[in-house]
Amino acid sequence: MRAHMVTQRMLSVSKIILLLSCSAPSQLAAQNRQTGNYASVNGLRMYYEVHGSDKPLVLLHGGGSTIVSTYGRILPELAKTHKVIAIELQAHGHTADIDRPLSFEQDADDVAALLKQLGIESADIMGFSNGGTTALQIAIRHPKLVNKLVLCSATYKRNGLPPGFFDGFDRASLDNMPKPLQEAYLRANPDPQGLQRMFDRDVARMRAFKDIPDSAIHAIQSPALVINGDADVVLPEHALALSRLLPHGQLAILPGGHGEYIGEICSRDPHSKIPLLVTAMIKSFLNN
């Protein structure tokens, strides 16, 4: 019954398209102009922002998203206690695409290379949706880089998504992409061709998605907080399995859909207090 309900609520093609991270505070958008930087990383001109000070915390956005569309609601609060390094990955937001495959593994290597450039030997890593899968790959490929993990609606197996999820990519088109995500991209990069390119790249990546072996997940030694919505496109059962497979995993299931617990831009209730609760929980996990 739970899987059927999630399928009915979440399996519009617009939700299928990107394992979506689908209003961000205008204050943060304005701050971007003051805090944004670019670094040359593995041939990519990667955009990143630094907010706050103290312990480094890396934020990785969801598919089809930007820093603001995923984290605009909670980033200012996280920056009160951490040096937040928020990144826009290949083809997303301010970071233009280049002629190479898009993969979670490549994103992980790009993040590792950026942190090396910034002189950061280790950091806490937080990823939402596709960013959560990238965070897992960072922990697998660059374990010494990771202190703690916060995995929000992260997927490591295809069966962690409702039946029929991957079928939707065969008929996915940009028209199905949620308008708030399109608008967020165009605010960062007013190039319709770039928007189409990002969409096509994310669709291709999800079509090609392969399970991460259980052995690779079980080898992750970093403490990890797994967060999911009870009506998420990522099944709560999958989040539970991930938290148990991680040797030092903890689990929190919150009311709502994909990303609503962090106030992601497509959240139905932009005034929900749940993101404040979740942010406090994340800070407590990272600081203890």
Rounded CA gap, 217 and 225, in Å?
14
Rounded CA gap, 78 and 71, in Å?
10
Predicted confidence at residue 170, as pLDDT, reads 87
Pairing between strand 44-51 and 83-88?
Answer: antiparallel
Buried b / exposed e along 112-128 (16+ C-beta atoms within 10 A): bbbbeeeeeebbbbbbb
Is pLDDT above 80 for 288?
yes
Rounded CA gap, 268 and 288, in Å?
32
CB 102 within 8 A of CB 204: yes
Report all structural domains of the chain as residue ranges with CATH numbers, in order of start: 2-287 (3.40.50.1820)
Rounded CA gap, 4 and 263, in Å?
25
With residue 245 as reference, give the H or E element that holds it: helix 236-245
**pLDDT (tens digit per residue) in 138-158:** 999 999 999 999 999 999 999
Predicted confidence at residue 138, as pLDDT, reads 98
Q: Could you tell me which residues are beta bridge partners of residue 85? A: 50, 58
Is pLDDT above 90 for 12?
no
Rounded CA gap, 275 and 266, in Å?
13
Predicted confidence at residue 35, as pLDDT, reads 73
Mean pLDDT, to the nearest integer, of 41-70?
A: 97
115 Cβ neighbours under 8 A, 6+ residues apart? 56, 58, 85, 123, 145
Residue 253 in 3-state DSSP?
Answer: strand
Q: What is the pTM of this model?
A: 0.91
The pair of three-digit structure tokens given for residue 57, joined into one six-digit string? 């915390």
**pLDDT (tens digit per residue) in 174-208:** 999 999 999 999 999 999 999 999 999 999 999 99
- Name the more confident of 45 and 6: 45
Q: How many CB atoms lie within 10 A of CB 47?
A: 23
Is pLDDT above 70 for 27?
no
Predicted confidence at residue 13, as pLDDT, reads 37
**pLDDT (tens digit per residue) in 76-87:** 999 999 999 999
Is pLDDT above 90 for 252?
yes
Rounded CA gap, 200 and 174, in Å?
8
**pLDDT (tens digit per residue) in 103-139:** 999 999 999 999 999 999 999 999 999 999 999 999 9
Q: Could you tell me which residues are beta bridge partners of residue 48? A: 37, 87
Rounded CA gap, 105 and 138, in Å?
8
With residue 188 as reference, give the H or E element that holds it: helix 179-188
Of 28-32, 58-62, 282-286, which range is least confident? 28-32
DSSP letters, 61-120, are --BT--HHHHHTTTHHHHTTTSEEEEEE-TTSTTS---SS---HHHHHHHHHHHHHHTT-
